[in-house]
Chain A
Amino acid sequence: MTIKARRLSRLGAIAFAVMLLAIWQLLSVLEVISPLFFPSPLRTFSELWSQIVSGRIWTPFSSTVVRMVYGWLAASLLGVVLGALIAGSRLSKLLLTPMLEFIRPMPASAIIPVAILAFGLSSQMSTAVIAFGSIWPVLLAAVQGFSSVEPRLYEMADAMRMSAWDRFRKVSLPGAMPDILAGARVGLAVALILAVVTEMQASLPGLGQSILMAQRSFRTPELYAGVIMLGAIGFGASMLLQWVERRLLKWRSAQ
């Protein structure tokens, strides 16, 4: 695509988005669609803007982000360690793979009632659920990644008499990194979903609770503002991880 064509399509993309919002605005103002359910974009964005300026949105925003990141970090670290252990021996792979395959398609949120029983309606419950839910993508990807490291690299490491730690750090981990990062990105999306779900379920402070409260009192623009912020978190988190991925995997493209 030439630069000119690209500029044209970017302009078209902006025009399309503006057109969508304009149609929505018009339908809402003319009350073709109920302004109670679909408040006009202008009202929604002015609500969002006033919440950002007054700072009211940052407390729930940051609680949701912190919740999500804690659970996800715990899950990712544990997932990589367990993945390395499982992939490390044939026996453990045979023993554990069927169980992992059984748990993988299970809805992670189904663990919520059990977690409430164990931890009560608390932040620990939320972190436990998030960690439990987002560990599977990372764990399965890590097992896959560690198992598919080129065996010749290990022969090389043996020939160089690397210690076990060096072998892991210099051969296994870089080899499995592309898979791990892809799994971690899926895990992060799951973590955000579960953060919102547990906040709604257990009335923990955060955007999930805020939007549920906004709905109960029919403050729809506030509800939309919360949904937009949640979308922004999802978008920002995935952008950040993509950036990390590009930096960590730079050595691969050089090959």
Chain B
Amino acid sequence: MAQKWLGAVIPIAMLAAWEALWHIDAMRMESLSRPWDVGQALFHGLTGGELLIATAETFQAALLGFAIAAVIGLAVGVVLGLLPWLESVVGPSIDAMRPVPSVALIPLTLMIFGFGVRMEAAVVAFACLWPILIVTISAVRSIDSALLNVARVLEMTTYERMVKIILPAALGRIAVGLQLALAISLVVAVTVEIVLNPRGLGHGMMSAQQAMRFDQMYAQLLWIGVVGWGLSYGSQTLLDKWSPARRAKEPS
């Protein structure tokens, strides 16, 4: 337990040094706000609700994009995973699109959708699609062929086979891909906001910087860190709890 707290030593020491520097006139830099002011800005942002609204805006776009990517990625991934010949035909076209950096689509989506949640979600969806698709294909392909034979012997319908055999068998690995994509969705959403979309946490940081409210800027940076950490911690907890395949794999 004591070891856990060791991790707090360096951040606290850095904050203390930062705060101390602020009190030495010669060392004061206006662009490095005092930790105390940053803390206050964070507190006011949270109690005043602006930070929470911005967070909701960011999550709205991130989750919308993630959901679109999940639906397309799972559907296409399951089909391609079950039909290797189709995968070898479609795969190279997918591989050709995959290395395009998601942010390169910002100008295009801006032109199509204008500013707002739709263009942001479109870029997020493009970024999240590939990890979900790739993981789903490989997860479905690695299903034990005996299971598929069982389905055939039982003369299951396609729907039954999907719900009773394929999805449960592949879910453990797919969940890991979804978790990765969820982390990506937040990163991309914030990035789009920082580049040009006037909404959410990323834009909040940019406008605080332009308004020379550096305390607010650092407060939002800190908050983005907390949100990102919370998302990754939360999804990891969910994964450990709900994914039986993963639980079985872990040495107890």
By a beta-carbon cutoff of 8 Å, the part of chain A in contact with chain B is 9, 12-17, 20, 36-37, 91, 94-99, 101-114, 116-118, 189, 192-193, 196-197, 200-201, 207-208, 211-212, 214-215, 218, 220, 223-224, 226-228, 230-235, 238
Contact = CB atoms under 8 A, between A and B. Distances in A.
B111 A215 contact: yes
Q: Which of B101, B186, B206, B228 has the most CB of A within 10 A?
A: B101
A109 B93 contact: no
Given A37-B112, A218-B111, A192 B101 contact: yes
Contact of B221 (A114, A200, A207, A234): A114
**Closest 5 A/B residue pairs (Cβ):** A98-B7, A234-B99, A215-B107, A231-B100, A9-B88
Interface in B139-196: 183, 186-188, 190-191, 194-196
Interface stretch (B8-16, B48-56, B65-73, B237-245): B8-16
B10 A96 contact: yes
A145 B3 CA distance: 22
A15 B202 CA distance: 42
Contacts of B97: 231
A207 B101 CA distance: 12
16 contacts: A95-B6, A96-B10, A106-B228, A106-B229, A107-B202, A109-B202, A110-B225, A111-B221, A112-B206, A114-B218, A117-B31, A200-B196, A223-B107, A227-B104, A230-B101, A235-B96
Contacts of A114: 209, 217-218, 221
Given A17-B93, A107-B186, A197-B194, 11 more contacts: A12-B89, A13-B91, A15-B89, A99-B10, A105-B228, A109-B202, A113-B206, A114-B209, A193-B191, A218-B111, A227-B108
Chain B contact patch, size range: 35 or more
| Dominant SS among interface residues on chain A | helix
Contact of B99 (A15, A103, A214, A235): A235
A217 to B, nearest CB: 11
A208 to B, nearest CB: 8
Contact of B104 (A94, A95, A116, A230): A230
Contacts of A98: 4, 7-8
Contacts of A233: 99
A37 B108 CA distance: 7
B232 interface: yes
A110 B183 contact: no
Contact of B10 (A14, A95, A228): A95
A201 B187 CA distance: 16
Contacts of A214: 107
A197 B88 contact: no
A125 B188 CA distance: 20
B102 interface: yes
A74 B225 CA distance: 23
A218 B188 CA distance: 24
Given A95-B9, A98-B7, A227 B105 contact: yes
A113 B106 CA distance: 19
Given A95-B6, A105-B231, A110-B205, A17 B111 contact: no
Contacts of A37: 108, 111-112
Contacts of B206: 112-113
Residue picked from A105, A112, A193, A230, most chain B C-beta under 10 Å: A105
B104 A211 contact: yes
A12 B86 CA distance: 9
Interface in B66-97: 85, 88-93, 96-97
A228 B104 CA distance: 9
